[in-house]
Amino acid sequence: MKTISYLTLRTIPVFALLSKSTVKVNLVNRSFSALLIICCMPLMALNVLCAFYKRTPALSTISKQDALGRTVSLQYFNHGLFKQSALLFNVVRGELNFSGVHFSDSLSCAKQQKINQQYNSTAGIFSFYDLHKIIGLVAANEEQLLIKQLNSTLLQRQCLIAKSLLCLLFYSNNDDKKLKNNKIINLFDLNIANVTTNEAINWITTHHSFSPKIGFYINVQSINLGLKSSKFMKQLQQADALFSDGSGMRLATKKAGYQPTDNNNGTDMLPHLCNRCIEKDKSLFLLGAKPGVALQTSKNLTNTYPELLIAGVQHGYTPPADNDQLITQINESHCDILLVALGSPIQESWILENRSKLKCQTILAVGGLFDFYSGEISRSPLWLRELGLEWVWRLIQEPKNKFYRYVVGNPLFLFRVYFLGLATKGEK
C-alpha cells in the first residue's frame, strides 16, 4: 500500500501541470509518429543493415539543450538515408514533439525561468526559430519567436511543419555540414559580405575613413543586370560592402559551397538600423522614390521611432542640372547615413559619381525601400517570406512592371547558377 500511495502522490502533480490541450497534442504527436515509424520500417531496416555491414552501432545518441535549458537525448541513425528519422522514436517516447521549443542556449536564465513558469512545453523537431534560420529571416528576436511558437494553434503548428519541410527541401541538403562559414564569399566575381544583420548594422554605423563608405544590396536582379552589363558589374565591384539579399542569392551561396547567414535585405534591416542610430546618435537622410514617398517614409519612421533623427528628405526626381544643389542640401544636413532609393542601376551610378562630393559617413543603395515604409506598396505576408517567396507578392502587385524581373529573371538566374556554374566565377 505504501508503494501505491507513493506512486499516486508522485504522478498526480505531473499530470496536473498539463492542460487537456497539451495532453491531446502529445497523444496526436506520439500516435502520428508511431504511424510514420511503421511506414518507414523498410528504410530504417536498410539503415540498420548498413550499420551491421560496417560493424558499427545502428543508432547514436546526442544530447542537446533546448532554449529553455532542458537537456534532451536525441537519436540518429549512423548510416543510410534520412538519418534524422530516428527522432521519431524520441517523439513516440514523449521526449519530443513535431512542433516545439527549438534547441539553443542563447536565452538568459531569467527568460528561461519566466517562460517555463507561463507555459507547458516540449522540445520540438520544427520551430519558428529554425524556420527563420533556414531562410535567413531576422524579423523578430528569439524570445518573441518562442512565445509565438508556444501560443500557436494546432493549425498553425501544422502549417509550420509544412513550411519547414518545404524550406528544408529547397534550402538545405545533406552536405550542409561541409559548407564553409566564410565572412567574405566570392559569387559571380563579387566579394559579398556573408554576415549577420547585427554585423551589417555595425558596419553601416561605424565610421573609420574620411570618405563615405558605400554599401550595395545584391539580389537576383543585381546579378542578372551585372551579367548583362559589364559596366554595372564593375560598379558593383567598387562598393566597400555587398550584402546578400533574397532566397536566390541564398541558393547560389550554398551552390558555391558556403553556409549563408542572414538575409540582409534593406527592408528587414531598416528597423535594426533605426534602433542603432538612436543608440549611437546617428542621423539619416532619405533620397529617392516618387515625390512625397520619401517624406511619408520619414513621417512613418519618426512615428515609430520618436527619437530617430532624420536630417533631410528629397525625392528622386531631381533634374541632373540641380545635382550640385542636391549635394549641397545633403552636406548641409550633416547626416551620418545617406539612404539612396533610385532603383538599379541608377542609384549605384549616382552614388559612385558623387561619392567624393558627399560628406556623410555611409551611403546605402536601398532600391524600393521607401515604397514599403511609406505604405505605397504593402509588404508580403510573413508566411510567404518564411518560404522565400516574397517576390511572388511583388509580382501580384505589379504584374506588368515586375514580369520580366521575376518570371524571366528568376529562372534565368537559376539556370546560370545550376547549369552554367556562374556562381563560382572568379573563384581561385
Q: pLDDT value at position 30?
A: 85
Which secondary structure element, helix H or strand E, spans residue 187, and what is its range?
A: strand 184-187
CA distance 307 to 129: 30
* Residues of the chain with confidence (pLDDT) below 50: 1-20, 426-428
Pull the grid cell for residue 368: 524600393
Q: pLDDT value at position 199?
A: 95
CA distance 423 to 257: 10
Q: pLDDT value at position 355?
A: 95
Residues contacting residue 5 through CB under 8 Å, at least 6 positions apart = none
DSSP state of 407: I
Sequence spans of domains, the chain: 21-172, 184-424
Beta-ladder partners of 310:
284
In 3D space, the residue among 389, 386, 393 whose CA is nearest the CA of residue 149 turns out to be: 386
Q: pLDDT value at position 393?
A: 94
Q: Where are the alpha helices (DSSP H) in 208-322?
A: 220-228, 230-237, 247-255, 266-280, 293-304
CB atoms within 10 A of CB 412: 16
Grid look-up 535594426 returns: 272
In 3D space, the residue among 232, 262, 258 whose CA is nearest the CA of residue 246 turns out to be: 262
pTM of the model: 0.86
